[in-house]
Amino acid sequence: MNPDIRRPIIGFTCGDLNGIGIELIIKSLSDSRLLDFMVPVIFASNKAISFYKKNLPEYNLTFTSIPDFSKINPKQVNLIHCWEEDVAITPGELTEVGGKYALLSLERAVAALKEGKIDGLVTAPIHKKNIQSPNFQFSGHTPYLQHAFGNTENLMLLVAENLRMALVTEHVTIQEVAKFITKDKIKQKLQILNSSLKKDFGIDKPRIAVLALNPHAGDEGLIGKEEIEIIRPAIKESRNQVLAYGPYSADAFFARGQHEKFDAVLAMYHDQGLIPFKSLAFGEGVNFTAGLPIVRTSPDHGTAFDIAGKDKADAASFTASIFECVRIIHARKGYTDMRLNPLKKISARMLANAIDENLDDNY
């Protein structure tokens, strides 16, 4: 890597103790080549890591336990102790313990983000039920982070090499989706997505496709009027700032490969976007929370209790999340630097290319 590019410090939450989160961390960070690109800090406990290490003999994760960030070792995987007590870890089971310590890890990592101790965060999967508590009354990481960083409006953005998929609504029931689809909401999400594509992905003039809500894009009002009354007006009113097109019928859009003509797609609801995304991402998709002042990524899957503790978890998406977190940190810095000094030769795109070239050399 270019010596002028500082290695960012990346935090890792452990996720649900009974899920595949710690296994993914061990598998990914056992590859010492990742230390060429970042300084890792795991928020968990020695005992939790050791519990899963014993079932993963092929992966040699070495790490340094540190009391605080003043003792960080830039040449090693670091671990911040979030608890000392013995914890009952039962892989594959939904327990109160699994959620309690997932939240403790997340709280410590978010505090480090706020204090500037880490530059970015990769979160392992949590279970949305057992993590609920007086300190966590949210439907997932995204709204929790939105609240933690001043209720800055953000966007759930799924990223893969061949596709970027954003969502207007996230974890709401199908029967409630339509009431959350408003003109202002769509315009707001388009603005966040457009901004993120520029500063986080180095795309100067991003083209965004907007999906319809109803089958066949409503068939001119025969199967719903949201396209006529809400979605089309939102696209039209955004055109002075965003190159947005649509609404497109979701089934034909992906079947005809139209997503390849755009820099990103804005879906109306969770499964409308995630089903085609996960089908096209080939297991290497990344969940990125766009619009926040910090960089947070995660794998595009959940706790996978059915395979937890069995050495069956594929770390491809988690590893991709690490690289994407590092890349976006550098891209944002390059974007900011270019606007502070337009004559500066280094750009977000050049930084991203430098990361990509080194990845190609090492993998």
Whole-Å CA distances, 78 to 61, 102, 109, 164: 11, 18, 13, 32
Cβ distance 167 to 270 under 8 Å? Answer: yes
Q: Which residue has the higher pLDDT, 344 or 77?
A: 77
CATH superfamily label, 1-153+286-363: Isopropylmalate Dehydrogenase (3.40.718.10)
Average pLDDT over residues 30-39: 95
Strands (DSSP E) found in 57-162: 63-66, 77-81, 120-123, 155-160
Distance CA 337, CA 351 (A): 11
Rg, C-alpha atoms of the chain = 21
Q: Which residue has the higher pLDDT, 362 or 195?
A: 195
Cis omega before residue 57 (within 30°)?
no
Whole-Å CA distances, 163 to 175, 231, 346, 363: 27, 22, 26, 21
86-99 burial, b if ≥16 CB within 10 A, otherwise e?
eeebebebeeebbb
Q: Which residue has the higher pLDDT, 354 or 338?
A: 338
In this predicted structure, the answer to whether residue 54 has a pLDDT above a threshold of 70 is yes
Percent of residues, the chain, with pLDDT higher than 90: 81
Banded pLDDT at 139 (limits 50, 70, 90): confident
Average pLDDT over residues 102-109: 97
Percent of residues, the chain, with pLDDT higher than 70: 91
Average pLDDT over residues 113-131: 96
Q: What is the pLDDT of residues 265-320, one digit of tens each?
A: 999 999 999 999 999 988 889 999 999 999 999 999 999 999 999 999 999 999 99
Q: Is 163-280 CATH 3.40.50.300? A: no
Pairing outcome for strands 163-167 and 77-81: unpaired
Q: What is the pLDDT of residues 273-282, one digit of tens each?
A: 999 999 998 8
Domain ranges of the chain: 1-153+286-363, 163-280
Distance CA 140, CA 234 (A): 27
In this predicted structure, the answer to whether residue 94 has a pLDDT above a threshold of 90 is yes
Pairing outcome for strands 163-167 and 155-160: antiparallel
318-349 burial, b if ≥16 CB within 10 A, otherwise e?
bbbbbbbbbbbbbbbbbbeebeeeeeeebebb
Cβ distance 244 to 238 under 8 Å? Answer: yes
Write down the number of H helices and E strands in the chain: 12, 12
Distance CA 210, CA 208 (A): 7
Pairing outcome for strands 286-290 and 295-299: antiparallel
Q: What is the pLDDT of residues 205-248, one digit of tens each?
A: 999 999 999 999 888 888 899 999 999 999 999 999 999 999 99
Distance CA 335, CA 278 (A): 29
Distance CA 112, CA 287 (A): 21
Q: Cβ contacts of residue 125 below 8 Å, gap of 6+?
A: 15, 16, 19, 20, 21, 298, 299, 301, 302, 303, 304
User: Mean pLDDT of all residues in the chain?
Assistant: 91
pLDDT given at position 340: 60
Cβ distance 288 to 297 under 8 Å? Answer: yes
14-34 burial, b if ≥16 CB within 10 A, otherwise e?
bbbbbbbbbbbbbbbbbbeeb
88 - beta bridge partners? none
* Lookup: tokens for 108: 């410590």
Greatest distance between any 2 Cα atoms in the chain: 65
